[in-house]
Amino acid sequence: MAMPAAQAGRPGIVLFAHGSRDPLWRAPIEAVRERMAQQHPHLPVRCAYLELCEPDLARAVAELLAQGVSHITVVPMFLGTGRHAREDLPRLVADLRQSHPGVAFALQRPVGEDPRMTALMAAIAMEPGEKPS
Instruction: Please confirm, yes or no, whether 84 is among the known catalytic residues.
Output: no
pLDDT band at 8 (very low <50, low <70, confident <90, very high): low
Residue 15 pLDDT exceeds 80: yes
Please check whether the domain covering 5-125 is classified as CATH 3.40.50.1400. Answer: yes
pLDDT band at 16 (very low <50, low <70, confident <90, very high): very high
Query: What residue spans of 1-133 are helical by DSSP H?
Result: 5-8, 27-39, 57-66, 83, 89-99, 115-125
Task: Read off the pLDDT band of 80 (50, 70, 90).
Answer: confident
Task: From the candidates 18, 42, 71, 100, give the one annotated as an active-site residue.
Answer: 18
Q: Which residues contact 44 (CB under 8 A, 6 or more apart)?
A: 11, 12, 13, 64, 67, 69
pTM for the whole structure: 0.87
